[in-house]
Structure 1
Amino acid sequence: RSNPIYRLALPTCWPPCSAVLLSMGYMHLDAGKHQQARHFFEQSYALSMAIGLKTGIEEATEALQEVTT
């Protein structure tokens, strides 16, 4: 049995992890915590860029625009 926390490091988990970072960002944005939201959006963007996930890049870019406006 493997620890589920270690599974997050597996490449197959990257796209979902990118989405999780994005939702964490929106959760903070809804709570009015813009700086924390920006951090999660930037992490999601960087992760999506690293693995070439086009949809993730687009979604993170849109999210970052929401924080700056």
Structure 2
Amino acid sequence: MSDKTIARVELWIWILLYGGLLALVFGLAVERRDFPLGWSIVVGGGIAAATGIFLIFLRSRMKTDNRQRT
């Protein structure tokens, strides 16, 4: 894998993981006022966070390109 691809995957890991957790907490707060809306935000945030965790697993399996560049 190229360095650019790995950097892009690492960027998406952070975005999905922290954005998903933030949406999950926000959905729990909204759930007190509007249950269906809050629940849908919680589910969306959970899916985003789970995708970030899955990308961490994929990143651990990626091989870096260790060739010397001239």
Q: TM-score range by the shorter chain?
A: 0.5 to 0.7
Q: How does 1:1-40 map to 2 (within 5 A)?
A: 10-32=5-27, 33-40=41-48
Match of 1:43 among 26, 48, 51: 51
Aligned length: 45
Query: Can you give the 5+ residue segments of structure 2 that lack an aligned partner in the other structure?
Result: 28-40, 62-70
- Point out where structure 1 has 5 or more consecutive residues left out of the alignment: 1-8, 54-69
Find the structure with the greater CA-based Rg.
Answer: 2
1:12 CA displacement: 2.0
CA distance in 2, matches of 1:26, 1:42: 9
Q: Is the 8 A contact 2:21 2:46 kept in 1?
A: no
**TM norm structure 1:** 0.53
How large is the RMSD of aligned CA atoms in angstroms? 2.0
In structure 2, the residue matched to 1:62 is none
* Structure with greater contact order relative to length (CA < 8 Å, sep ≥ 6): 2
The alignment's TM-score, normalised by the length of structure 2, stands at: 0.53
- Sequence identity percentage: 13
